[in-house]
């Protein structure tokens, strides 16, 4: 059973076509893996076993007839619990949301997964309302890193990344407003892609506005590309969504102009992380790209990001009574109060900073096809904390300097595993492209994956040595 659960989505689909594996067998194996591994990491807040098996039986019948429904027919998929899922509560890790039904709607990404025959096995944990870069909340508690369960998996899609790492569904839907698929991918050694804003329709609109993206998390680049193709389907509920994409021509890494920025010009980086990322950047030279060290040339935009993010937090809780606010994560309550004090002028000034950052990165990408950075400057730290012990700042943005700038600019950015620390903790390489260049980012990650495969190393819950 465990061997089946660890198959990638692409491997499962190939086995379905060959008749050597059925969707029921695959779903049963994944559900068994959830029962076995999830108590150690707390990645799922809801497991929909009966519904998943019903969907798998329907898929099996379609495969028997030679009429698969779509690109994912029979493949198990998890859904982050900030995305609406028909028939089940979307509680967003909050005690302020009533679970009463009927919950009639799917978010666009979830709807596309169903249309393509994906089997939804459950919903994964998130910090309350997705507000921070680690995963714990007042409703479901602390989610843990599968490589070392004393540590955080990151967030806010921490449950999704832990599930993929442990074989508890090969595909996961996550969201990313300041790094929330890339941060946990970096900490848990899986692949994640934040698409160009609008590439994946989103509904209802995030209170954090156009910082928020929906993106895939998977064990391989090919699996993430498959899920991205599915969830990029049109949905009229998102007025800001991009038109359906035309399949891109194959991208050859040879000859690409790639900038490697070890610090973005301002971020201190752990020595082991820096060494792993530098070695990873050198792989692209071996692949035939022209790699040179270069910083984009902007100062840390964290203050502007805070105005935008904290205002979004205030928007997300504005309807709560004072008594209901007392149920919130204290950190969320603090930033929402701060966000409520910002004026319209503050918000527009932060937006102007964002627009200038986008202009600067547009000019930078006239010279460079891609930008490489660490995904994170540090390895995973103690679970249940917003920041590491004795950290100089109380906010999660102080240790995620490489991720949130590219939510502000709406560029595609991926995190690909590139090594381990001496303690056995994963290190991620971030690959950033100009807006709309998702295919280029994914092609570069695929080439790196083939040159430096990580698939032969899986975590064992509670054992960082594996």
Active centre residues (catalytic): 80, 156, 180
Task: Please report the sign of the dihedral spanned by the C-alpha atoms of residue 60, residue 159, residue 302, residue 279.
Answer: negative
Q: Is the peptide bond preceding residue 204 cis, with omega within 30 degrees of 0?
A: yes
Residue 439 CA to residue 118 CA, distance in Å, equals 23
Query: Please, are residues 175 and 208 in contact by the beta-carbon 8 Å criterion?
Result: no
For every residue of 374-425, DSSP letters joined together read ES-SS---BTT-SS-TT-S-SSGGGG-TTTTHHHHTT--EEEEEEEE-TTS-
What span, in angstroms and rounded, lies between the C-alpha atoms of 257 and 210? 29
Region class of 296: left (phi > 0), else alpha (psi between -120 and 50), else beta = alpha
Tell me the backbone φ, ψ of residue 415, rounded to 5 degrees. -115, 125
CA 362 centroid distance within chain? 24
C-alpha 233/C-alpha 227 separation (Å) is 11
H helix intervals, 318-384: 322-325, 330-340, 344-367
Q: What is the DSSP letter of 179?
A: S
Q: How far apart are CA 455 and CA 459, in angstroms?
A: 11
Contacts of 174 (CB under 8 A, 6+ apart): 80, 157, 160, 161, 180, 181, 184, 192, 214, 215, 216, 217
In angstroms, the CA 429 to CA 151 distance is: 20
């Amino acid at each position: 059973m465990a061997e089946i659960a660890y198959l990638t989505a692409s491997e499962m689909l190939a086995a379905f076509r060959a008749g050597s594996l059925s969707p029921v067998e695959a779903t049963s194996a994944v559900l068994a893996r959830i029962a076995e591994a999830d108590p150690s990491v707390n990645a799922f807040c809801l497991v929909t076993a009966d519904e998943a098996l019903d969907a798998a039986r329907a898929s099996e019948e379609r495969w028997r007839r030679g009429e698969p429904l779509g690109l994912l027919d029979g493949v198990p998929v998890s859904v982050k619990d900030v995305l609406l899922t028909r028939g089940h509560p979307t509680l967003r890790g909050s005690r302020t949301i009533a679970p009463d039904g009927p919950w009639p709607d799917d978010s666009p990404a979830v709807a596309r997964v169903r249309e393509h025959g994906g089997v939804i096995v459950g919903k994964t944990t998130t910090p309350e309302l997705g507000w921070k870069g680690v995963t714990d909340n007042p409703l479901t508690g602390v989610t843990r890193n599968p490589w070392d369960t004393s540590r955080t998996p990151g967030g806010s899609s921490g449950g999704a990344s832990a599930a993929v790492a442990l074989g508890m569904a090969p595909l996961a839907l996550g969201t990313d407003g300041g790094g929330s698929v890339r941060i946990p991918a970096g900490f848990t050694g899986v692949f994640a892609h934040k698409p160009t804003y609008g590439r994946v329709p989103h509904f209802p609109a995030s209170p954090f506005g156009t910082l928020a993206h929906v993106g895939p998390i998977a064990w391989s680049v090919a699996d993430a590309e498959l899920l991205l193709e599915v969830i990029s389907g049109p949905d009229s509920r998102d007025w800001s969504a991009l038109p359906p994409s035309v399949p891109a021509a194959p991208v050859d890494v040879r000859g690409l102009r790639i900038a490697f920025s070890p610090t973005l010009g301002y971020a201190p980086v752990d020595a082991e992380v820096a060494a792993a990322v530098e070695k990873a950047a050198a792989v692209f030279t071996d692949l035939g790209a022209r790699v040179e060290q270069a910083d984009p040339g902007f100062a840390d935009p964290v203050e502007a990001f805070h105005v935008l993010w904290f205002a979004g937090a205030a928007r997300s809780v504005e309807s709560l009574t004072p008594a209901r606010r007392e149920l919130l994560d204290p950190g969320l309550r603090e930033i929402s109060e701060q966000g409520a004090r910002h004026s319209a002028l503050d918000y527009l000034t932060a937006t102007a900073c964002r627009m200038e950052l986008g202009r600067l990165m547009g000019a930078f990408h006239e010279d460079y096809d891609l930008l490489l950075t660490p995904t994170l400057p540090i390895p995973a730290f103690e679970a249940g904390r917003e920041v590491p012990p004795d950290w100089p700042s109380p906010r999660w943005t102080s240790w995620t300097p490489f991720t949130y700038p590219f939510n502000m600019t709406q560029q595609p950015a991926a995190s690909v595993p590139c090594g381990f620390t001496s303690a056995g903790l994963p290190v991620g390489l971030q690959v950033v492209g100009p807006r709309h260049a998702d295919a280029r980012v994914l092609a570069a990650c695929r080439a790196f994956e083939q040159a430096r495969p990580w698939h032969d190393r899986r975590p064992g819950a509670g054992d960082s040595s594996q």
